[in-house]
Chain A
Amino acid sequence: MDIFIAIVQILDSTIRLSVPLLLACLAGLYSERAGVFDIGLEGKMLVGAFAGASAAAVFHSALIGLGMAILMSVAFAMVHGFASITHRGNQIVSGVAINFIAAGSTIMLGQAWFQQGGRTPALQPGERFEAIIWPGADAVRDVPIIGPVYSELISGHSILVYIAFLMVPFTWWVLYRTRFGLRMRAVGENPAAVDTAGISVAWLRYRALICTGILTGIAGAYLSMVQNGGFVKDMTAGKGYIALAALIFAKWRPVNAMFACLLFGFLDAASIRLQGSPLPIIGKVPAQFMQALPYVLTVILLAGFIGKAIPPRAGGVPYVKER
């Protein structure tokens, strides 16, 4: 029974840790499916986290915080769009720039506004998104097996967690069952064909980037307003890049993205849980190995040793009308 409780706890923290990855990964999916590489996911999450936590602290409202997080994150996505769609600049360079501007400005503005060494004020209850206890969660807690699963795993998360997981079928539906999704996939594969059909390539890509901004904003808000009660400098700590890795791992598909993020979240949760304690058969696994594993797996996948990850064909190439 102890083992069962431990497994439930690990799975519970897997869900918590994979939510920001999942949101950022789906965010990247929108922009990359539309043919815009985005390595600025990290920066946009950071901006979202900062804007969310500071607005929530100043206006004493979690919802205003979330709104600001989305707004600022979308603004940064638009900068990326302006550089890489309108001015046909290098998308990687633009993404790198956004990550730096985000990393520097969040710390500096945080220090200038709140004087807490780059932190924002600790959020009070009501300024954060609280856990939602599902009906009957406390009643069934003592029921074996079903009890812990229902009350720990399913119930007791904040609204953003459920939004994140609902975004998976929603994104699938948008991508494969709507006109916008069809056009977005087309613009990522063959923009000239979309252009010939009389649809604006630039506007489609901008709309995809707005989706990216909204989702990275929510991911950032989750980090600073749910996982942590405030913004801490560099709190994304490479999650944007892991999300990028997960996106490749998922071969740019929404449902796969969820499993990839859960896998990477599980690795993270397991490395925290196993810190210092040996595993059966394998022995003691260094924490750094577990941390590096998502990156190693992605490299191996990209190299085509386990399946083949084929990116959208027009990814990274600015569209020029009339070649």
Chain B
Amino acid sequence: MSTPYAKLPAWADYGLIPLINLSVAFIVAGLVVVLVGENPFRAAVILVEGAFGKGTGIAFTLFYATTFIFTGLSVAVAAHCSLFNIGTEGQAYIGGLGIALVCLSLDSTLPWWLLFPLAIVASAAFGALWGFIPAYLQAKRGSHIVITTIMFNFIAASTMVYLLVGLLKPLGSQAPQTRNFVGGAELPKLNWVIELFGAKIRSAPLNICFLLALVMAFLVWLLIWRTRLGYEMRTYGHSPKAARYAGISETRIVLTAMMISGALAGMMALNPVMGDQHNVAIDFVSGAGYVGIAVALMGRLHPVGIVLAAILFGMLYQGGAELSFEMPSITRDMIVIIQGLVILFAGALEHMFRPYIQAIFASFSPKSVGIEAIKGKGA
């Protein structure tokens, strides 16, 4: 994605502009709050207090953030290769199937530290498989990855419903979900870390998947900016023509990027399934894959930004739950609106304020803005 705009100092590019976009998104969200007849400032205070005020709140915030780190990384890896993976939702759903198969067969025999690595592999493999098919169709048959991944979300949903009301459901049960996993499938909690700081936690699902998510964020950074494969992926993302000229195999890059993306999406399922619910139920992903799009865009596709954005969204989820309790006219759907606004202003309209900021910078010191870049496609 070449920028047809003049250069700005790095801190303005990576700090100021995202901050302005984010603020606009929240101002518009505030207007929605006014529209339903509540005070947006009081709502913001309740939201932040609900997320960070108590130990339990912090633990829940980080639990949600864990999920979003995985999906955000998933979207970002594909995006570095200029592939828009909307299929994170479906890949995570199918990743849950991998976990279910491992846990259902081994949960009473293996301890968690043996079962967890197996589940990681299974979830990643199933997610990668669900990313592989659209990638193959894009690379070999030229079908558009956005459309195929959307279709695969629906196919994943139908497949999982079929399995959960049939094969995976225990006999005699009515609920469309697997039996509850026991023993080894329950991951250790991390709440004691927060309790070290003196906060009290009643019960919160924060678990070691959070650490796994941070490790993955580091590995993604390593992959994208410190390996040959990552360099090839970014090259392909910037210019498929240049990549082809450099002898990079298009098929191999698209397939690898989408499989890594799918694997990260699949691993997201570990957090709710083994860390919290201890079963696989219908629609357990519940939109986290789509939140990943907002998180990746807001984090500007960089793992550090993604972790921060994921924590922000974790805060919105946890604080939003408290908010809907305090202000009944603000339901949890407020988060969906904010999510949409963030995608709109940080994603689609990311360059809206750039010319103005450039003008301001130029009026202070023309040198800091640099020469006008040549206009190219793909603004």
Residue numbers of A with Cβ under 8 A of B are 37, 39, 79, 82-84, 87-94, 96-105, 107-109, 111-113, 118, 238, 241, 244-245, 248, 286, 288-289, 291-292, 295-296, 298-299, 302-305, 311, 317-318, 320, 322-323
Contacts and interface: CB of A to CB of B under 8 A. Distances in A.
Nearest to B148: A299
Given A112-B329, A292-B154, A292-B159, A302 B148 contact: yes
A97 B86 CA distance: 12
Interface string B348-360: 1111100000000
Contacts of A97: 340-341, 343-344, 347-348
B340 A98 contact: yes
A303 B141 contact: yes
Contacts, number: 169
Contact of A109 (B35, B148, B155, B375): B35
Given A94-B344, A244-B147, A104 B159 contact: no
Contact of A286 (B141, B151, B162): B162
A93 B334 CA distance: 20
A305 B152 CA distance: 17
B293 A311 contact: no
Given A241-B151, A317-B377, 6 more contacts: A105-B32, A105-B333, A248-B147, A288-B159, A295-B154, A299-B155
Interface string B328-347: 01110111111111011001
Nearest to B142: A304
B297 interface: yes
B351 A87 contact: yes
Given A39-B150, A88-B351, A299 B143 contact: yes
A96 B159 CA distance: 24
Given A244-B147, A311-B144, A111 B348 contact: no
A37 B162 CA distance: 32
B193 interface: no
A162 to B, nearest CB: 30
A129 to B, nearest CB: 28
A83 B349 contact: yes
A294 to B, nearest CB: 8
Given A108-B330, A111-B331, A322-B375, A292 B155 contact: yes
Contact of B334 (A37, A104, A299, A302): A104
16 contacts: A93-B347, A94-B344, A101-B340, A105-B32, A107-B333, A111-B333, A112-B329, A238-B154, A241-B151, A292-B158, A299-B152, A302-B144, A304-B143, A318-B377, A320-B379, A322-B375
Contacts of B4: 320
B161 interface: yes
B117 interface: no
B316 to A, nearest CB: 12
B193 to A, nearest CB: 33
A318 B1 CA distance: 12
Interface string B265-283: 0000000000000000000
B337 A108 contact: yes
Interface string B3-29: 010000000000000000000000000
Contact of B150 (A113, A244, A318): A244
B331 A84 contact: no
Contacts of B152: 295, 299
A35 B337 CA distance: 27
Contacts of B344: 79, 83, 94, 97-98, 101
Nearest to A303: B141
Given A299-B137, A302-B143, A304-B142, A89 B351 contact: yes
A19 to B, nearest CB: 21
A291 B376 CA distance: 43
A108 B144 contact: no
